[in-house]
Amino acid sequence: MEQSDMYLANCQINNFKIIKQIGSGSNGLVFHVTDVFSNSNFTMKIILKSHLFNSNKNNNNDLLLNQLVHDLSHNDYKLSLPTVDLDSVLNISNYQLETNPHYKELNLHLKVHTHQNVVTIHQIIESNFATFILMDYYPTDLFTSIVDHKHFSHNGNLVKNVFLQLLSVLEYCSLNDVYHCDLKPENILIDKLDNIYLCDFGLAISSSSSSMSNLNLNVGSSYYMAPERISPNKPTFNELTIKGDVWSLGIILINLTCIRNPWAKASTLEDKTFA
């Protein structure tokens, strides 16, 4: 059981009741929630506002959780918070993004969330310490489907179907100047009809809003990271974005067909298999 489940289960933010925590990362906490009026399931991602960021990123989620528990416990475990117009975040200026970098993930996600294979953002809620993002809920990710369920084992048509969807969404993202930079099965959700949905744009970048000097080259999963991102030499923007995402797709294809990763890291110095 996640620590947050003990504190937050059945707490409510607007009309959304928290069921349990289903994920976490450097960019926030992720919960399964239900709408108390419609009983519909949603995913709620909570991102700490950038002015509260701690230099030690590992402490940011603890800070976020503590503040959330504090505010809920002082308001009868129910928060009533304002919503934000989605278009205002979609059209936010580069200057505003520089001063409020926690909006970057939302801005880039909104640019592509109308694609049928991207998780849809339905609502954005604001507090003084965090931004709450309401999205579609899917209980299974591609990693679980590949490794635990063996769903793709010896099924070439199913592999082809899912991979064509991945190609479609990656092309759509690149046409809209959005590069995910963290493609891996854990960031791809799948429904009962074998449709996939790309999520978690926390490391995504675009050519219009990113500076090479500010990019986290080694942030992400080493299993899916292109060698240019691991190399001590400074990569080009294309090597980080277009080529990097295509590389990750290749590793995912090996996952789908072989139920394993080919190497732990794409480095001849650090991984004998890759060498």
Among residues 43, 134, 9, 39, which one has the least CA distance to residue 84? 134
Please say whether the beta carbons of 125 and 14 come within 8 A. Answer: yes
Q: In which element (H, E) is residue 110 found?
A: helix 104-112
Q: Residue 181: which residues within 8 A CB-CB, separation 6 or more?
A: 203, 204, 205, 220, 240, 241, 244, 245
Please say whether the beta carbons of 191 and 197 come within 8 A. Answer: yes
CA dihedral 222, 228, 234, 236 (to 10 degrees): -120
182 has catalytic annotation? yes
- Which residues are 46's β-sheet partners? 29, 132
Which member of 182, 200, 245, 271 is catalytic?
A: 182
Among residues 144, 140, 143, 132, which one has the least CA distance to residue 33? 132
Among residues 129, 7, 6, 133, which one has the least CA distance to residue 72? 7
Among residues 51, 45, 47, which one has the least CA distance to residue 98? 51
CB atoms within 10 A of CB 55: 6
Show which residues are catalytic: 182
